[in-house]
Chains A and B, each alone.
Chain A
Amino acid sequence: MKRLRPSRLLSVARRELVRSAAGRRGWRFFAVAMFLLLPVSALRLPSRDTPPTPVVAGEAPAALQDAVVVQERAPVTVGEADGVVTVEARGIAPALRQVLEKRLEAGSPAVRLELHPRGLTLPSRALFVALLAISLLTGPLAETLPGEREGRTMEVLLSTSLSRGEIVVGKWLAWTASASFTALVAGFGGMVTGAIAPGPWVVAMPAALGVAVALGLWLVRGAADLVGGAAAPMRVLPVVAVVGVGVAWGLGNQATLLGAAVPLGGALLVASGLVPGVLPVLAAVGGSLLASGGLLWATTRSLDRQGVKPRARDGGYVGTLVLGGLGWWLAVAGPATFVLGGAEDLPAPLDASLVAGGVLIGATAVVALLREGRMPDLCPPRRVPQALIRGLMVGVALSATELGLGSVAGPAWALPLRVRLELALMPAIVGTGAAVAVAVGSELFFRGFLHRRLGLVGTAVAWAVVVMPMDPVRGVLSGLALGLLQQRLGLLAPLAAHLAWVFFIGKLQVGGGEWVDLALVGLACVLAALRAGPKADG
């Protein structure tokens, strides 16, 4: 961005608008945005000031009966003891409090509650509007650099005397100006109807849109066509806006200026009228301009290097393994970190986690198999009985140990994870859904997908690392047993073995120590490896 000549910038901006807004299309962006933004900003929605009728459980005293709705499963229970009305709850909603004070205390409460909430209110409506407005930029952003590439005009543009910086900043100017103009007109519409008060949004809104456009340009810098150019901003911009507002809100609660200075998020907060004062406006504009500058510089640099960002090579076994493992771990062991972090009431029920982990690892396998175009051999029809019998025998042998529940003492931090895994296996015994999800999911992933590339040992190790990390020796051995079954008889056999294993694991714990357990796993391996004719899978 060494050379930024104002006249050239303006000519690029003008060309940009003429190119993508020629003729009737010139009104498109403006009209579309107006259609959405004007009603939101100018219409005065029906007031929700009237509090809803409170819902309570229990026996409401006569004084309350016509002021509340009684429902059996309400979170608040009303009763009477020794002439005093009791309200059993974890919190009393303002509507109910109002009724109680009016009906039982004639409007002069014995204890007056005075609330001083900390800091800012999370701007849910402003966030929604911002999300809509920023999503609208997707189309125009796709037309900028990717549109030039698809229309083969990019090379012509790059071969002119314009600097790369002038091209990028010119385009940024064009769309920031149009988006700001549209948003400001919508805002002024709101001022006319009295729905919006004049305020710092006039300055903060263009700043927010400026940084959104700059981020969008950076996101589409490598896209080769319009669809690719639309997909990246659509995926990222709304999330960044939401996260940005969240961060700005969080920081703003500690220090207002710090929150306002968060690029995009701070400007959106200021534009929502939540942070009063001149300094926050300056901080919001400054933070957003600085971020815009950085993003435009990075986009220019990528144009200097020229060309389309090389496409990442599809998938790959390692990537799929990481993704599948992550899916399993986040769902099954992830909640244990909440306990470590002190939020003991946060984790979901184990059954839900197990189903999620099993389905996620299975879904990863299905997508990977689709991408590969090669489905695993389930089982040759004439060997189905053999696969089922052998699978059942191996499953029972494995469940007769304490596999995975490990006698190996792990580090202290791993204890909650281990406990959770131990507990996770118990509902699997009774919860058919969880058992099936886990067995099908992980067999499809390890034996169905990974086995072909990583081979028997590699898959067994990967299996031990991902789902059996607490007891690596037995993890690898059980992986070998299941892998041998797959090699000999196709995917049906390890599926049957795995299902039998999770169903019986709690019932057949005969393991009397390391050696007995290892002997049982060895037996499972032998059962799996017993000669059954030629291999099923190549």
Chain B
Amino acid sequence: MLLAEDLHRAFQDPDRGTVDAVVGIGFEVRAGEIYALLGPNGAGKTTTLRMLATLLRPDRGRVLVDGIDAKRDPLGARAKLAYVPAEAGLEPQLRALEAVELFARIQGVKQPRQRAQALLEELGAGALAGATCGTLSTGQKRRVVLARALVHDPPVLLLDEPTDGLDVPGRRDVLGLVRRLAAEGRAVLLSSHIMGEVEAVATRAGVVARGQLVAEGTLDELREIAGERDLSEVFVKLTGDGSAPA
């Protein structure tokens, strides 16, 4: 469903010169699977996600979204995916329903208003339809953003730190939603540095450090590779990062 092959991306930094943000990352996310991309801050998770979402051109490598080559046909690939950035990106002046409807209309969805309303209700945000986005809480925004991402019924979902800034009930709700979306047959890729939530939802995970994929597999396989039971310890050992994850 989503295939990344040998992705490379470097940036020019005025102070540090050429910085290799992503070096040869490759993995596959199948339908119905939740794949977690783990790694400390600055490891290259977001850069990878942005390449998969066709927002950044890889210097090398290939991305296939539901069989479509994202480099050759980026618009075709975009029609098959939804990208939810860490920042909500909701227009603060629009009402929740309008924000979702806007995306539906741009994508040519039939009966956009009804579709937007139905999705908001499905995600437990029906009551927020008339609320202005600027006044919503982080958790409420996250629901609206998810509704907006799903408005064209994409088979691939890319979530950048989807629970960032959420309280405990909000986190639980969003993770529940992610599980449901995968259960409907979507391929879900989420980036995170919070081990608890990865353990709760992910079927497989890839660990990224210094721009490289240092380990990949189910959570049990990762434990085995690292020789540790506690996922936090697994994380530290695999990434070589002293700063303990959440």
Contacts and interface: CB of A to CB of B under 8 A. Distances in A.
Q: Do chains A and B touch in the complex (CB under 8 A)?
A: yes
B160 interface: no
A533 to B, nearest CB: 26
A373 interface: yes
In order of increasing CB-CB distance, the 3 nearest A-B pairs are A373-B95, A373-B98, A373-B130
Contacts of B98: 373
A373 B97 CA distance: 10
Interface of A: 373
3 contacts: A373-B95, A373-B98, A373-B130
Nearest to B95: A373
A373 B130 CA distance: 9
Contacts of A373: 95, 98, 130
A373 B96 CA distance: 11
Contacts of B130: 373
Interface in B57-103: 95, 98
Interface in B89-124: 95, 98
Nearest to A371: B93
Interface string B118-134: 00000000000010000
A373 B131 CA distance: 11
A373 B91 CA distance: 15
Q: Would you call the interface of chain B mostly helix, strand, loop, or mixed?
A: mixed
B101 to A, nearest CB: 11
Nearest to A373: B95
A373 B132 CA distance: 11
A373 B93 CA distance: 11
Nearest to B93: A371
A146 to B, nearest CB: 17
A373 B129 CA distance: 12
A243 to B, nearest CB: 31
A373 B113 CA distance: 13
A46 B133 CA distance: 56
Contacts of B95: 373
Nearest to B97: A373
A373 B95 CA distance: 8
A204 to B, nearest CB: 43
A336 B19 CA distance: 71
A80 B95 CA distance: 74
Nearest to B94: A373
A373 B98 CA distance: 9
B245 to A, nearest CB: 26
B220 to A, nearest CB: 43
Interface string B125-154: 000001000000000000000000000000
B232 to A, nearest CB: 30
Nearest to B130: A373
A517 B98 CA distance: 48
Nearest to A314: B132
A506 to B, nearest CB: 45
B244 to A, nearest CB: 26
A103 B98 CA distance: 74
A373 B101 CA distance: 13
B113 to A, nearest CB: 12
A374 to B, nearest CB: 10
B86 to A, nearest CB: 19
Nearest to B98: A373
A509 to B, nearest CB: 48
B236 to A, nearest CB: 31
A434 to B, nearest CB: 34
A373 B99 CA distance: 12
Interface string B18-46: 00000000000000000000000000000
A150 to B, nearest CB: 15
A516 B40 CA distance: 86
B120 to A, nearest CB: 15
A60 B95 CA distance: 70
A255 B195 CA distance: 78
A113 B88 CA distance: 74
A226 to B, nearest CB: 15
B94 to A, nearest CB: 9
B135 to A, nearest CB: 11
A3 B130 CA distance: 50
A373 B116 CA distance: 15
A384 B130 CA distance: 30
A434 B98 CA distance: 35
A180 B136 CA distance: 45
B13 to A, nearest CB: 15
A228 to B, nearest CB: 13
A373 B94 CA distance: 9
Nearest to A374: B130
B174 to A, nearest CB: 27
B95 to A, nearest CB: 6
A333 to B, nearest CB: 35
A285 B98 CA distance: 54
A239 B87 CA distance: 38
